[in-house]
Chain A
């Protein structure tokens, strides 16, 4: 069943269109930057963009920062929201269950396909933006400079970049789990996707609100940008650890809810 789900994901045009768009946005940004050479000032959002003009290999980090707030979570929410609700609305859910595919198995296969999608998306994003970076921008002579001003060897930079991409991938699983849960509740894929996005927007609003400071450590988006710490020296691990922990909690809670709901659900579609 896992193979079937992965095959379906890979054969679906939407998968590749969304990943293409995801990789295309940083490319577009890079083209503008390279032709105008007007970079944002240091310290302005998105992170790293001011540094890439003379530091091309750092571009994957900038690309992550560009797609992370909205583009990537939207793509993940679309795929996850469609997971069960899409099968229900096409009518295939009943035939998969009658085949029989156990309900738990089906949900696990959907989850694995979702993880595969996130990993593929982030990996392709990192790879294409690296190529963009070294083609369009200068490479700083000598080593590369970390955010804290310490020189990093190229090997170390690659290691940190991979870690950052992984962290971003994990950060997306929380959204994915919320959308997957909603996907088992609703028969409308769109409803599930928008529900998960509504949760994200709410979280992002609350994170910036000082009055909500007491709940902000528990919000799914609170530590999304903690991966920037990976480019400091020495790395401050506190936020990264909290970010991973909070994602783990969201994934566990919403997957359990999704399973409990789906395993006992009347399939009427």
Chain B
């Protein structure tokens, strides 16, 4: 769906995106993670042809960007850097305007398209008040509705749950799952790990303009070969497992061991009580923090 080869974008002296090879396959739920200022939004803008690459090639739905944009953009829905609307018009009027501004779709079905999009994002019953009277969450929903207007094959969403309350976040997550099940490819950027963790099947991690990691979430979450043991007898357990303990904090031990079942047997045989035992899995947070540095919004003293 999206494939970039060695894409670089330079704004004056700042290297915003540096040699990125992004690969989003059809059907993916791709989460683009990274600290603030790591180049996520610029990469999305490059893929959508809003900004032009300094070097490298970009393909969107199999067509080169920016040359083939006119052909493929009708099948792409996007929400880039927050929703936007004309404040003095109603949400419906805004969607009709957006619908009318591009090719495809006859005028007589416009109303139905607008209503369907509003229903999908939970704004079906909204009145005629102007968008400037909308709350942040309503604007975000309206932005999503605009992205969904033409039943896109690819959805590119930049921080889709910004400004939503927990209920709204779940609504959006369910909606995105549903769309993905129906065949829509998702590419979303976020700095909220939990959002990506719960929704995505594949992640890319950006840091200082580089794509430092790109992998299936399942691969990242494979066991680490260590086992976490909680016990009320940590001293005895430590003595028994001497040399194999990699981490110890109060009653929690991390043990280098290939098999939790055998470790349990070993400990019980020695009369050590266990309250909890499970193989250690890497958290997405650990993976991401390992791969990235502090965001560009943090400025330490030299």
Binding site for B on A (CB under 8 A): 1, 3-4, 7-8, 11-13, 90-92, 94-102, 264, 266-268
Contacts and interface: CB of A to CB of B under 8 A. Distances in A.
B97 A8 contact: yes
Interface of B: 11, 45, 48-52, 69-70, 73-74, 76, 78, 80-89, 93, 97-98, 100-103, 146
A91 B82 CA distance: 8
A3 B51 contact: no
B249 to A, nearest CB: 46
A92 B86 contact: yes
B50 A101 contact: no
Contacts of B83: 91
B88 A4 contact: no
Which 5 pairs show the lowest CB-CB distances between chains A and B? A91-B84, A99-B102, A100-B73, A266-B51, A267-B50
Nearest to B48: A98
A18 to B, nearest CB: 15
Given A94-B80, A95-B146, A101 B88 contact: no
Given A11-B89, A94-B84, A100-B74, A4 B52 contact: no
Given A11-B89, A13-B88, A90-B86, A95 B98 contact: yes
Given A91-B81, A91-B82, A97 B74 contact: no
A95 B69 CA distance: 14
Contacts of A3: 100
Contact of A96 (B45, B69, B81, B101): B101
Nearest to A5: B101
A266 B50 contact: yes
B78 A98 contact: yes
B102 A101 contact: yes
Nearest to B87: A90
A267 B46 CA distance: 10
25 contacts: A3-B100, A7-B97, A8-B97, A11-B88, A90-B84, A90-B85, A91-B81, A94-B81, A95-B84, A95-B98, A96-B98, A97-B49, A98-B48, A98-B73, A99-B73, A99-B98, A100-B70, A100-B73, A100-B74, A100-B103, A266-B11, A266-B45, A266-B50, A267-B51, A268-B45
